[in-house]
Amino acid sequence: MIQLRKLKMLKVNFNSTRRVALSLGALIFLAPACGKTEVKQAEVVEVKEVAVEEAPKESLNDMMKRLGIDKRVRVEDADKAPADEKQAEAVLVFFDAMVRGNAEKLSPLMSNLDQAVLADMNKSGQWKSATQNISRVNVGWTPGSESGSLTVLGFYTVGDGFAAQLWSLSPAESDKPSIMTALPSPSKIDEKLQGNKTDARIKQWLAMNKDEIASAKAADEIIEIPQQDRSVKGESDSSSGSDEGATPGNPAGPGRRKPTGKPVDAPGGPPLKPR
């Protein structure tokens, strides 16, 4: 029994030794191969992110300098870039022509109706008197009711007073200039506007226009004026009674008596008898 166990143990030891030898043999076999084969490591290429810098957008102040806009034109948020450069240029050129009193340059930028009004004012001399005393105009705009349009407010300082006008600028098109159309102005609007921000002022203006339109469409109120009876008491009864009894040959009425007796000859004696 003891010998059998030893044999088993020897077999186990032999197998273990064999496994180790095979393992060592594999390593010995691979060693020359590792020595001859060059293992190239993957090169790590660093990819640097190149930030593409966009050209800085032109601010309204820079745009005004480039276009040579009159210094009397002041634009709200002039240090910022406009959302639409073409529309911004159209607004600036429009008010520049206005403060300079340049009707020829201004007219093509207006609607047909406003062009006609401008022509009449220019012909009568009103245009010159209306623009020569403009010392400043504050300009601002907000998105209009139509897609792509703008609502533009011009608040003028004219001499010792103020004036205001609201305009609608048409959407920008590649082959056509943007057109300004004057919007209705409530009476004494320059005195009614509150605050100094364009957005708030435009909202107030449009609200007042809406109220005036609603008021104009409302039905006129019918005012009933009480009638007064100015006749003399008893006059109608007596006159109606006399009229009923009167005949064409015998007129009768208030203050008149029915004639009695023979007719009286006309002054100057009886009429002459023919011979």
Q: Is the pTM of this model over 0.85?
A: no
pLDDT band at 2 (very low <50, low <70, confident <90, very high): very low
State the Cα–Cα distance between residues 272 and 275, nearest whole angstrom: 9
What pLDDT shows up at residue 124?
Answer: 96
pLDDT digits (tens, 9 = 90+) for 203-224: 999 999 999 888 888 766 666 6
pLDDT of 12: 46
Q: What is the pLDDT of residue 213?
A: 85
pLDDT above 70 for 130: yes
CA 13 vs CA 3, 9, 10, 18, 32: distances in Å: 15, 6, 5, 8, 29
Mean pLDDT over 264-273 rounds to 53
Average pLDDT over residues 99-126: 96
Q: Kindly tell me if the per-residue pLDDT of 70 is higher than 50.
A: yes
Q: Label residue 154 exposed, middle or buried (CB < 10 Å: 0-12, 13-18, 19+).
A: buried
pLDDT at res. 177:
84
> Is 137 within 8 Å of 151 (Cβ atoms)?
no
Mean pLDDT of 44-69: 78
pLDDT score of 170: 94
Answer whether residue 34 shows pLDDT above 60. no
Whether the per-residue pLDDT at 96 is higher than 90: the answer is yes
pLDDT of residue 6: 46
In the predicted structure, residue 231 carries a pLDDT above the cut 60: yes
Q: Which of 171, 163, 194, 177 is nearest to 98 (CA)?
A: 163
If we measure between CA atoms, which residue out of 148, 153, 142 comes closest to residue 174? 148
Contacts of 237 (CB under 8 A, 6+ apart): none
Mean pLDDT over 229-255 rounds to: 53
Asked if residue 154 has pLDDT above 50, the reply is yes
Query: What's the pLDDT band for 53 if we cut at 50, 70, 90?
Result: low
**What domains, with CATH codes, occur in the chain?**
60-184 (3.10.450)
Q: What value does the mean pLDDT of the chain take?
A: 77
Which of the residue ranges 105-109, 124-128, 177-181, 252-256 would you say has the lowest mean pLDDT? 252-256
pLDDT of residue 28 exceeding 50, the answer is: no
Distance of CA 135 to the CA centre of its chain: 25
Q: How far apart are CA 143 and CA 82, in angstroms?
A: 12
